[in-house]
Amino acid sequence: MSIIIALIIFSLIILFHEFGHFLLAKKNGVTVVEFSLGMGPRIISKDWHGTKYSWKLLPFGGSCMMLGEDEAGDAEGSFGSKSVWARIFVIAAGPVFNFILAFILAVIVVSLRGYDPAVLTGVSDGFPAQEAGLQEGDVIVKLNGKSIHMATEVTDYINFHQGKTLDVTYKRDGNAYTARIVPEKDEDGRYIMGILLSAGYVKGNVFDNLRYGVYEVKYWIDLTFMSLKMLVSGQVGVKEMSGPVGVVSAIGGVYTQSAKRGALAVVLSMLNMAILLSANIGVMNLLPIPALDGGRLVFLIIEAVRGKRINPEREAMVHFVGLMALMALMVVVMYNDILKLF
């Protein structure tokens, strides 16, 4: 059951991404040759209004194949015949739709569960937070200049910046104060300030739900960038990366654990996983890597600046090399995912 749910979540996220490309392509008069869910041989397909809609065998990925996508030309309805800004909008629509989906799901989660404000429920005796004057009821609003809206952001920021001095801005009785805190090691070797954050969720009104829906998406986007920074800096390696197999396994594990707490816990856990994945896919696709949307946007932005398109054959070769590199990385990641299962 958990595997089926994982595949459904993954497939719907990819489908929504490709639907972004599809919608903007249609809006700008680009002919969509095929819109498909999955990869490999077609299981079912139907031609409708000049587009072939397909469901393919392998339940990973999807595509929105446009006429003349990697070619120069002025054939009617071809991707290359449209203005550079129209093409930018079409390519950028996929990641943007991932963020839109993440926001919709986040609003649903906050509406059902509530939000977790960064309110202190206490401070630990003898630790830096107490010495700096923080106390129960204080609301943390910034850490080293970074805006904070949720309790989870405080915990993650400290975990990602172990041993760093923290300039903590907090509010008390409507007034803002700032304290410089040097975290100390606890008995487990972790650097902590010695604060106790709100353990429960607060139910808000419609506007609170919309606002914290934005904060939730921003949180997952920030977490993705922090993880990428750790990967680039060598703090984590390729072995810690997860591909489709790892994602399905992670969703299955979360499902199994949440099922013990009831149906609502399962729904909230699966929605949170979907928010994480959708935001993550949105960010990853905007990276300036050949073959990804971000790589294509780089070429389109260069074209917009210089007023002339880069040779399509050269661009296609760059994307092909990038695709091969990504496929090689995916094989390595998938191999590591499989090893983790046994």
Please identify every residue annotated as catalytic: 18
Residue labelled with tokens 């920021």: 157
* 37 Cα distance to chain centroid: 20
Instruction: Find where tokens 């090893």 sit.
Output: 339
Could you give the CA distance from residue 177 to residue 171 in angstroms, rounded to a whole number?
Answer: 6
> 3-state secondary structure string, the chain?
CHHHHHHHHHHHHHHHHHHHHHHHHHHCCCCEEEEEEEEEEEEEEEEECCEEEEEEEEEEEEEEEECCCCCCCCCCCCHHHCCHHHHHHHHHHHHHHHHHHHHHHHHHHHHHHCECCCEEEEECCCCHHHHCCCCCCCEEEEECCEECCCHHHHHHHHHHCCCCCEEEEEEECCEEEEEEECCEECCCCCEECCEEECCCCECCCHHHHHHHHHHHHHHHHHHHHHHHHHHHHCCCCHHHCCCHHHHHHHHHHHHHHHHCCCHHHHHHHHHHHHHHHHHHHHHHHHCCCCCCHHHHHHHHHHHHHHCCCCCHHHHHHHHHHHHHHHHHHHHHHHHHHHHHHC
